[in-house]
Structure 1
Amino acid sequence: MGFWIYLMSDCIIFGTLFATYAVLGYGYGGGPSPADLFSPGFVFVETAFLLFSSITFGMGMLRADKGDVDGLLKWLGITAVFGVLFIAMEIYEFNHLVHIGAGPDRSAFLSSFFLLVGTHGLHVTFGLVWLGTLAAQIKWKGGLSEANTRRLGTLSMFWHFLDLIWIGVFSFVYLVRLV
């Protein structure tokens, strides 16, 4: 029950961040617009990494249902690789934007962009730490015990939730503004 309350509070947080972006997202302040800053190909690859991580997590869950710890850990490892690639691309994008003078202090649009996308990135980073910790627990402490299986299911909900939020970010922040 506690995790569902947490997930609903995250929905409120992201809803607020989306609303903030909706209000401030056209406040360019004489600065660059999304069409000036974002590369559709780059964002597509970044999105693909996160969506593939959701697929690989699902494959891991199928292995867990069969009691295959080694298969589960392999798929969780692949999920982690996709998650790290996603975060690396996001860090690169943020660094690039700041380097060209399009940091969060440049305009209302960029402030709300960095806040929304950065908050999502922090959640993915937290999810990667959780994934690594849980994989270590499964490998070295208890295998697919009842507690670890429950934790795995909870992490699965969190990971898929992040993918759902990213689809909103991808659509609302990147696609709509590039068209």
Structure 2
Amino acid sequence: MAVRKRYLAEQFSTASQQREATYLGMWLFLATEIMMFGALFLVISYYRLHDPRAVAEAVHHLHFVLAGFNSALLLTASLCMSLVVKASRQDYHRHVQLWLVLAALLGLGFLGLKGFEYAWEYREGLLPGSPNESPLKNPGSRLYMVIYLYSTALHALHVSIAVVLALGMAARIHFGHMKLPERAITLEMVGLYWHLVDVIWILLYPALYLLGRPA
């Protein structure tokens, strides 16, 4: 703890004050993200109640097994970020860099698999703008696919940001621009962001792929 107190920004008088302000700022930012995705979940829920048959037709064509595997990738990346935070507090530089890069690779794997899924759905005529004939006969089902695309693309954007943050932190540590364990709190904030992105996907996965799926 004594080592961590050496890093203190000018606007703070104590290390505990700096830590509290950092956490408060991060939680406020995460709250805005939750409100944004919360609005999406409300739209999804309302549409499911409003037109369950259209939703069931669309959900029947979604590749839930592929999305389930993607969920495993993202949860493993979240575990890596937890290990990053633990290693950063113990000044294990190499371990921190290893877990950061591994988390980033898993995030890239998620994005690559999601891109493959989009391409598959595009060829099947499920996504908006596809030139192929859509198997969805109900206009409401096609509207659901618009909601699906917007929700998952927005989440993919957040995963991309998380990957960039992880690789950026690994590079800064490697080149000596970020000292540990003095700056461990920075990695804690990145870890919180990662966990939020993962939690959102764990909620999106059943909301979009599973609920209303024909038995």
CA distance in 1, matches of 2:147, 2:46: 9
Which protein shows a greater Rg?
A: 2
Question: Do structure 1's residue 101 and structure 2's residue 94 form an aligned pair?
Answer: no
1:119 aligned residue: 154
Q: What CA distance in whole angstroms lies between the structure 2 residues aligned with 1:110 and 1:160? A: 26
Q: Is 1:7 paired with 2:42?
A: no
Runs of 4+ residues over 3 Å off in structure 1? 24-32
2:40 corresponding residue in structure 1:
17
- Aligned-partner Cα distance in 1 for 2:56–2:75: 31
State the TM-score, normalized to the length of structure 1.
0.89
Matched-pair contact (CA < 8 Å) for 1:49–1:83: yes
CA distance, structure 2, for counterparts of residue 159 and residue 86 of structure 1: 13
Q: Per the alignment, in what secondary structure is the counterpart of residue 177 of structure 1?
A: coil
Gaps of 5+ in 1: none
Partner residue in 1 for 2:82 = 58
2-structure distance, mates of 1:101, 1:30: 16
Whole-angstrom CA distance in 1 between matches of 2:89 and 2:188: 11
Which of 83, 99, 108 pairs up with 1:84?
Answer: 108
Higher helix fraction: Structure 1 or Structure 2? Answer: 1
TM-score (norm: length of structure 2): 0.75
Offset of residue 28 of structure 1: 7.4
Paired position in structure 1 for 2:3: none
> Residue 38 of structure 1 aligns to which amino acid in structure 2?
L
Please tell me whether the aligned partners of residues 63 and 72 of structure 1 are also in contact (alpha carbons under 8 angstroms). Answer: yes
In structure 2, the partner of 1:134 is 169
Check conservation: 2:83, 2:99, Cα contact below 8 A: yes
Pair 1:110-2:135 in alignment: no
Q: CA deviation at 1:145?
A: 5.4
Aligned length: 177
Q: How many Å separate the matches in 1 of 2:120 and 2:94?
A: 39
| Alignment partners' CA distance in 1, 2:53 and 2:112 | 26
Alpha-carbon distance in 1 for matches of 2:115, 2:200: 18
- Post-superposition offset of 1:45: 0.8
Query: Residue 40 of structure 1: which of 35, 46, 64 is its match?
Result: 64
> What root-mean-square deviation, in Å, do the aligned CA atoms of Structure 1 and Structure 2 show?
2.2
Q: Any stretches of 5+ residues in structure 2 without a counterpart?
A: 1-23, 130-138
Could you tell me how far apart the structure 2 residues matched to 1:128 and 1:99 are? 28
Q: 2:180 aligns with which of 122, 144, 165?
A: 144
Q: Assess if the C-alpha contact under 8 Å between 2:89 and 2:184 holds in 1.
A: no
Percent of paired sites with the same residue: 21
Instruction: Determine the structure 1 residue equivalent to 2:212.
Output: 177
Q: Aligned letter for 1:93?
A: E
Residue 102 to residue 66, structure 1, CA distance change in 2 (3 Å)? same
User: Compared with structure 1, are the counterparts of its residues 85 and 28 closer, same or farther at alpha carbon in structure 2 (3 Å cutoff)?
Assistant: farther
- What SS does the corresponding residue of 1:91 show, helix, strand or coil? helix
